[in-house]
Amino acid sequence: DARLGSAAALKERTNTSDLLEPDLYSKKCPPGTYVSNTSSKCSPCKRGEYTEYPNDLPNCLPCHTCREDQVELSPCIATRNTQCACRNGTFCSPDHPCEMCQKCRARCPKDQVEIAPCTPHSDLRCGPPTDTSSSSGVSTVAVVVSILVVVVVIVLGVCLWKQCFSHRAAGEGGERSSKPGSVVNRLVLRLTRCCWGGMGMRDNDRNKQIEQEQGLLPAARGSGLEVGHSLGGCCWTFSFQQTSPVSSNPTAEARKKLVPVPGEDPVVLLRRSFDIFARSVPLKDWKRFGRALDLLENDIDQAELYNKLLGEPIFQVLNVWLNRQGTNASINTLLGTLSRIELSGVAGDIASKLVQEGYFQYEVS
């Protein structure tokens, strides 16, 4: 009773004349084999050929040969294609087809420093010196602090002037008004009372906000800037509140993320969703989708060969991505990637279909 086996079991069977039977559930042969036309069993790939995933291909895929501007990282085996990379000093961006390795920049411009060195997948990265950015940030903070100090001094000066003026206007002359210590003491006392009053005003504002959130009071409409002051005009309380629009749909935010329906295997549900992705993602965008999922050019080439044989490149791209991610694979990563490559409408349609099919549901916070 031969079933889908491991690579080690396959290697052991290849040394004999026995052939593997296709998996009873998926009807597919294990990696390193293909479905033989003569016996309908799984025959091992020949030298120079491979199959990396469970398949029902009539032939193994030919191994990729590295170009002259590339180096071979690992040779082709029956269960894995040849792994190639650009030579030292050259790179090939994973966001574009790697038709030719480009030469890395030798050095950064005079007014920039090196942030990251050249790699087979990215050029030399340069940016402004960190000292310049930090000094700019320090100078900005210094300016802000200076402005705040000036404002505080002006407010205290106005309060002191009003205090002295009120004493003169009330006829408080002579010894009482001529002593600066008594004036300062009275000013400190008034400022203390003012601050406690400001705290009370802030407490009242907070209580109003809670009542508005509970629907007991109508929400205030305005620019979100509230200015209050205590009696006497000596203490000012500025309250800046960032108002955000209230959605008419209370579950609008919760619907942005999908979770598997309870009682089902998340991996099985994720594999089932691949059919909806294959029918919804435009065929002209499948390569961009694969590169946005951080697949290698070898993976893209392999998916293109599958496309010529079976016409299902997106299935191959998603299977490679799922095998690479393992337990970290998430349906929200796929939908977010579509939005990132300007296919937000497609992502929304797929999310709705997944919910309608009963595979996933919107997360409720």
At 260, is the secondary structure helix, strand, or coil?
A: strand
208 and 291 share one domain? no
**Residue 91 falls within a domain, yes or no?**
no
Q: What is the pLDDT of residue 309?
A: 66
- Mean of all residue pLDDT scores within the chain: 74
192 and 289 share one domain? no
**Residue 336 falls within a domain, yes or no?**
yes
Number of separate domains in the chain? 2
The tens digit of pLDDT for each residue in 328-362 reads 899 999 999 999 999 989 999 999 999 998 899 89
Q: How far are the Cα atoms of 186, 332, 335, 338, 357 from residue 351, in angstroms, in the given order?
A: 67, 9, 8, 11, 10
Token pair of 46 as six digits: 């020949």
**Residue 95 falls within a domain, yes or no?**
no
Q: What is the pLDDT of residue 66?
A: 92
Q: Cite the DSSP H helix spans in 2-87.
A: 7-14
**Residue 289 falls within a domain, yes or no?**
yes
**Residue 237 falls within a domain, yes or no?**
no
The tens digit of pLDDT for each residue in 168-180 reads 554 444 444 445 5
Q: What is the pLDDT of residue 256?
A: 72
**Residue 284 falls within a domain, yes or no?**
yes
263 and 353 share one domain? yes
270 and 358 share one domain? yes
- The stretches in the chain having pLDDT less than 70 are 1-18, 131-138, 163-255, 307-311, 365
Element (H, E) at 320: helix 313-325
Task: Domain of residue 311: give its range.
Answer: 254-362
**Residue 279 falls within a domain, yes or no?**
yes
Number of helices and strands in the chain (H, E):
10, 14
**Residue 212 falls within a domain, yes or no?**
yes
217, 233, 263 - which closes a domain = 217
Q: How far are the Cα atoms of 191, 211, 235, 267, 299 from residue 295, in angstroms, in the given order?
A: 65, 52, 62, 20, 6
CATH code: domain of residue 268: 1.10.533.10
The tens digit of pLDDT for each residue in 179-223 reads 555 555 565 555 555 544 444 454 555 555 555 544 444 444 444
